[in-house]
Chains A and B, each alone.
Chain A
Amino acid sequence: DVKVTQSSRYLVKRTGEKVFLECVQDMDHENMFWYRQDPGLGLRLIYFSYDVKMKEKGDIPEGYSVSREKKERFSLILESASTNQTSMYLCASRPQGEETQYFGPGTRLLVL
């Protein structure tokens, strides 16, 4: 069974703080993704990575950066958190050659 874990289920941060969201998958998947989900907007892709140290911008990368130093771990970084980054953040992974993405449980971030 594929397992994608995220470091926190709930997180509260203050405006201007640097925030790290961690995602780990245990199935040796090449591709990993970060989405945010907001009411009425569905899931929107922030960044994805198709290999270690490789990254590509998604639809809404502004205000975010990512890091993939190891194959199993993909980190999302909010350099200076703002209130409009309050959201549910979802990490996913996908093996090469398959279309199915496997999602983690999500991190609900509140920026005050």
Chain B
Amino acid sequence: LAKTTQPISMDSYEGQEVNITCSHNNIATNDYITWYQQFPSQGPRFIIQGYKTKVTNEVASLFIPADRKSSTLSLPRVSLSDTAVYYCLVVKGGATNKLIFGTGTLLAVQP
């Protein structure tokens, strides 16, 4: 499974758009890019998944360039409740029994 690299932490203010970039240089052809969110004292929660170009749901957008060696999670107009750790994972398509979580990015949203 491809290794991912993302910033350890980011700061933002309420109402701003936040972009968290993840690099995955060794991504394979059948791998997907997946993001999870984890609040303190809770289990991770799936946010969004994509293969290429752009994916949007009610929570976030995911931008993946053509070479797929990186991806950017975009959170529009963050609020204090978006303070969490965000994990970027590369997941093999199909039946996947193993998720490899790195240390993630701690996003701190301030008033």
Contacts and interface: CB of A to CB of B under 8 A. Distances in A.
B59 interface: no
A9 B43 CA distance: 11
A95 to B, nearest CB: 10
Contact of A105 (B34, B41, B91): B41
A101 interface: yes
Contacts of B44: 43, 90, 103
Interface string A88-112: 0011100011011111111010000
A103 B46 CA distance: 9
Given A58-B98, A100-B46, 6 more contacts: A31-B97, A40-B103, A42-B100, A42-B104, A43-B44, A103-B42
| A-B complex: 8 closest residue pairs judged by Cβ atoms | A103-B43, A43-B101, A42-B101, A100-B46, A90-B43, A99-B91, A99-B96, A103-B44
